[in-house]
Amino acid sequence: MIKQDLNALEEKSIYIIREAKLKFKNIAALWSMGKDSTTMLALTRKAFMGKIPFPVIHIDNGIDFPETYDFREELAKKWNFKVIVGHSEIKPDLVGSACCGKNKPETLKKIMAEYGFDALIVSIRRDEHGIRAKERYMSPRDEKFRWNYKDQPAELWDDYTSKLDTKGHIRVHPLLDWNEIDIWNYVKRENVPVNSLYFSRNGFRYRSLGCTHCTVAVKSNAKNVDGIIKELETTKIEERSGRSMDKENEYVMQRLRQFGYM
Amino acid sequence: MEVKSITLLGHKDHGKSTLIGSLLMQTGAATKVRIKEAEEYSKRMGKAFEPAFILDSFAEERTGEMTIDTTRAEIKYKNLAFALIDVPGHEELIKNMISGASYGEVALLLVSAKKDEGIRDQTKRHLFLSRMFGIEDLVIAVNKMDTRNFDEGSFLAVKKELSGFIGRIGFDTKRVTFVPISAYSGENLVKKSRKMKWYKGEPLIEALYESARRKKKQGNGALRLLVQGTIDDGAGIIGGKIVKGHLSAGEKIAILPQDQHAMVKEIVVKGKKVKKARVGENVAITLDKRMRFEMRGSVISNTDEKPRLTNKIRAKIFVVNKPGKSLCLKFNGIDLQCSGIKILNSINSVTGEKGPAKAESLNAIEAEIELEQKLPVEEFETTKELGRFVLYSGNEFTGIGTIL
Amino acid sequence: MSNKINDIADALWKDESERNWKEFAKTLPKSGLRYYRVVFLKGEKLKKAQDLTKSYAELYDAKERLVAKIPIFEKKGKRIEGATYYMKGLLTINKVDEWVK
């Protein structure tokens, strides 16, 4: 796993987050309480003089980890930002992991429409899964949240030219260039608060967080951020291997993507 | 670790994905999961192991065996990491190709030496575009040498054919390296190939390393701070990025195109107050007086070395779709209407030669554009960020331009 | 203390109502409970909210002794919703010996 220059990554992300806020009229960010979207919030505070000038959305299926709920409330209070909680239902979906599937975008759609958001910051990284390597920094979704990956607008230099010419919205991806290890190095350097589920208990920890039903802990003795960094420097196993969703067929992932999940 | 972006160019069948796959394996960057997935997939397709499957993730891409969109793969070598950006080869996806190419610092062109494959128009077009985007260093990998029994003659033939064109479109031939390889069998990628002893140069990854380390033109010079907008209305804090020079607290600055002068009271970088901010940094600044106008798209410079303020620009434009009646220019985060365009001549992107004054898709033009208002601009070769723009006709992507 | 939790657990098994869940959340901080584990039956996949009736949570004290088992959903009229929110304050135990996937 390649360790990148944190300052360079940070500058680029700050630029993109500012660009999202200043280019669009009404933006929000998705927050899963995981390390990536929390790092995104830390970067937002750097971009906006310690403030988080937009609401963050948590799509809650009711069976998230108790630690996650705890973390949500603590951090929202500490960093003083608005959380919009959308309750999603558990329904069957395309990959058989009902809790994180098609029902989440449906809830998100409702929230986006209710608040009239025209852009949404999503903290995905290219190294998470092959399919995400195709993403742009700013990527349009149509009114049904579909991603037309075959006909994406040109994205040149720093000018993320995405034009909003449908009733859809723009997905903004400020962490696209970060690798998993960069996130942890940044968490360490900046003291970014993280969910306690990431740290080992009884020989297991969570490497990537979904909900209590789709996330499987991985073997690990990493009890703190340093331990995690050390572990990542030697591992050859992919991050999301602990989530049952990703083991499913890639064709299905691709379809899910078109349906607006992720 | 410093990451250098390498734009990977070339025709769809010339083995780009195979090359990335092989490089990922030979440098140990491919995870076991990926290799296993690729093995299984190759088997299911009834094929011998295909390294490209390590990289490609889209189902359609695998079955069609071509790359749909910009892809990124990272490879470690010595003290650098290369981010290889694979851009799609087929013409209908030129928008994606352009997007991928614009991120690169070095271009890696893949040309097949296989009989009847050779240099295609599209290959040349890719080269034309990357030079236009300011790429100065180029590595040309002559691929599929295995199909030619690793014979020097076929390598030299490709080299000869491309050399003239490369010079014509503005590459400095001293900054262009040719390397014979076989991506499929993994020859001359990381280790010197024993099958091509006639080749005295370095293997591909070393050639990339040398190119990536060469100094690029831009950097120092007079201050250019591109303003993204007001990030805190109440406190009057302006956000932007320094693309050239540096900025100090207490300094007198000019704001363009409004042509206002002010003094910098405070600079904040990443939440911390600083006395001086440098190139590449995103700053939040407070001035000694409130600006009443919209700041998005403005440029801040020193008072004595301002960029040119004009509503007439001369530019080289790569045309993707023919311009419609109304033309809109995207520049530095803002949209501007063009009031007129005069085509001076065309440039054939395949031959590099100038031709009659007409706009044709996938070729370039030199033109004069008149804008409805003045803009602070510079030549692309001087300050990239103030010398480039995107053209739209309605919602249709027309092309991209660099200011001459 | 644990008696109180067991009473509430019993009440929850009889009626997974909001009232009982709120009572549970109120009692939790002083219960001496520290850890939890979500268990779902082997081979069962979560396809719909109704499937939450096939899973439950085990609650442990600070010495990792099993104290109680509780359901993991809340009844809202005829609807079923996840109820892990009420377990806020507990930490995952990650016990390996009887790990159920």
DSSP string, A198-248: GS-BTTEE-SS---TTTB--EE----SHHHHHHHHHH--S-GGGGBGGGGS
Q: Which residue of C has its CA nearest to A217?
A: C94
Cβ atoms of residues B49 and B39 within 8 Å: yes
Interface test with C, best of A58, A59, A64, A65 (most C CBs within 10 A): A65
What tokens appear for A48 in the block? 């906006």
pLDDT reading at A4 higher than 60: yes
pLDDT reading at B63 higher than 60: no
Cβ atoms of residues A143 and A194 within 8 Å: no
More confident residue, C4 or B275: B275
Domains of chain A: 6-178+248-258 (3.40.50.620), 181-247 (no CATH)
**Residue B61's pLDDT band (cuts 50, 70, 90):** very low
pLDDT of residue C29: 92
Residue B373's alpha-carbon distances to A61, B376, B384, B402, in angstroms, are 51, 10, 21, 18
**Residue A249's pLDDT band (cuts 50, 70, 90):** very low
pLDDT tens-place string over residues B322-354: 888 889 998 988 889 999 999 999 999 999 999
Give me the residue from A66, A90, A92 closest to C90, CB to CB.
Answer: A66
pLDDT reading at A129 higher than 70: no
Of A3-17, A59-73, A157-171, C40-54, minimum mean pLDDT range: A157-171
Q: Do B231 and A47 make contact, defined as CB atoms within 8 angstroms?
A: yes
- A 10 A CB-CB count for A197 gives 23
pTM of this prediction? Answer: 0.85
What tokens appear for A182 in the block? 């960069």
- The alpha carbon of residue B273 is apart from the nearest alpha carbon of chain A, in Å, by 10
- Give the span between the Cα atoms of B134 and B118, in whole angstroms: 25
Give me the residue from C84, C91, C96 closest to A212, CB to CB.
Answer: C84
pLDDT of residue B195: 95
pLDDT reading at A229 higher than 50: yes
pLDDT reading at A6 higher than 60: yes
Please name the residues between 301 and 320 in chain B that touch chain A, using a CB distance below 8 Å: 320
Angle between helices A180-190 and A225-234 (to 10 degrees): 160
**Residue B321's pLDDT band (cuts 50, 70, 90):** confident
- Give the span between the Cα atoms of B399 and A151, in whole angstroms: 15
Mean pLDDT of all residues belonging to chain A: 81
Cβ contact C–B (≥3 pairs, < 8 Å): no
What are the two backbone dihedrals, phi and then psi, of residue A189, each rounded to the nearest 5 degrees?
-65, -40
pLDDT of residue B394: 80
Give me the residue from A14, A51, A134 closest to B70, CB to CB.
Answer: A134
Domains of chain B: 2-213 (3.40.50.300), 224-302 (2.40.30.10), 308-403 (2.40.30.10)
Of A157-171, B18-32, B174-188, minimum mean pLDDT range: A157-171
pLDDT tens-place string over residues A174-224: 999 898 999 999 999 999 999 999 999 888 888 888 778 777 788 889 999
* Residue B281 forms contact with A (CB below 8 Å): yes
Burial of B309 (0-12, 13-18, 19+ CB in 10 A): middle
pLDDT of residue C101: 40
More confident residue, A164 or B187: B187
Which residues from C are below 8 Å from A213, CB to CB? 38, 40, 46, 55
Residue A3 CA, chain-centre distance (Å), reads 20
Q: Do B400 and A21 make contact, defined as CB atoms within 8 angstroms?
A: no
- Give the span between the Cα atoms of A204 and C13, in whole angstroms: 30
- Give the span between the Cα atoms of B339 and B311, in whole angstroms: 10
Which residues from C are below 8 Å from A212, CB to CB? 38, 72, 84
Interface test with A, best of B1, B27, B282 (most A CBs within 10 A): B282
Q: Do C47 and A98 make contact, defined as CB atoms within 8 angstroms?
A: yes
* Contact pairs from chain A to chain B, CB under 8 Å: 144
- Give the span between the Cα atoms of B302 and B286, in whole angstroms: 16
pLDDT reading at A68 higher than 60: yes
- Least Cα distance to C34 among C69, C65, C3, C71 occurs for C65
